[in-house]
Amino acid sequence: MANHTDQTIQTKQTLKTSIPEIIALVGAIAGLAVYLVTSTTGYMAGQGVSVAAIALSVVAIVALIVKIALGSRLGDVLNDVLTVGSEALLIGGFALFVLARVRLAADIYFIPVNYPASEETALNISVIGVACYLIAIIALIVKAFTAKDVARAVISVEPTAPAVA
């Protein structure tokens, strides 16, 4: 029975420590999906898709899946490498996504004359994708700077009775 309880406690601790990675995984998948949809349909269709943005995001997603699935079995160094690596890859994918939408935003916000409604729709949907990427990036930054679960030794000093002379 004690082994089952220990396993349940460890599962809860693993899930608790994986929450930022799960949030980042969901955000990265949603951001990539929005990037693909806005790049291949509507106003942006036919203007090309950045293979680098897709590749960086996919590799980051795979790294997050590996980190979530294997977690404590990977060791501290590999866990840190996967966290920082997936963070860097997501930032790269995010940057390429935003750069691909700069001209679109400039047309709508700075030259607000005679742009098609589909252009504004593409930008509005792209803003949702950018927000998803930002959520994923912030979740990984939070995870990178949170304290690790480390076994700590506790030393307690008990007071002694005063010496009688």
* Among 39, 36, 98, residue whose Cα is nearest residue 61: 36
- Give the number of C-alpha atoms closer than 13 A to the C-alpha of residue 66, restricted to the C-beta side: 16
At 62 the pLDDT is: 97
Q: Which segments in the chain show pLDDT lower than 50?
A: none
Q: How many Cβ atoms sit within 10 Å of the Cβ of residue 91?
A: 17
How much is the CA Rg of the chain, to the nearest whole Å?
24
Helices and strands in the chain: count of H runs, count of E runs: 4, 0
What was the pLDDT predicted at 84? Answer: 94
